[in-house]
Amino acid sequence: KRLLPESNRWLFLALDEDGYDLPADWYMRIAGFAAEGLRSERHIHDSFPSKELALSLPQPRAHV
């Protein structure tokens, strides 16, 4: 919350405002998921794909 811009005109909300701890790239994941659906690379179901989005987390790479 402390990193949100201040504005007298607009109300900005933090990603965790509703109590869910979301990664910083959350909306990029959703946009990528939707783009795959629009290109017919992924089937979009009626329910929110929280498991699929969580599984799309990048895996850390080991530095050798």
Task: Give residue-wise pLDDT tens across range 7-58.
Answer: 899 888 887 788 877 788 888 888 998 999 999 998 888 998 888 877 655 5
Residue 50: domain span: 26-55
Whole-structure pTM value: 0.56
CB atoms < 10 A from the CB of 3, how many? 6
Structure tokens at 32: 């990528």
Among all chains, which residue has been given the structure tokens 């509703």?
Answer: 18
In a domain, 48, yes or no: yes
Phi, psi dihedral angles at 45 (to 5 degrees): -90, 170
**Element housing 43 (H / E):** none
Task: Say how many domains are in the chain.
Answer: 1
36: in domain: yes
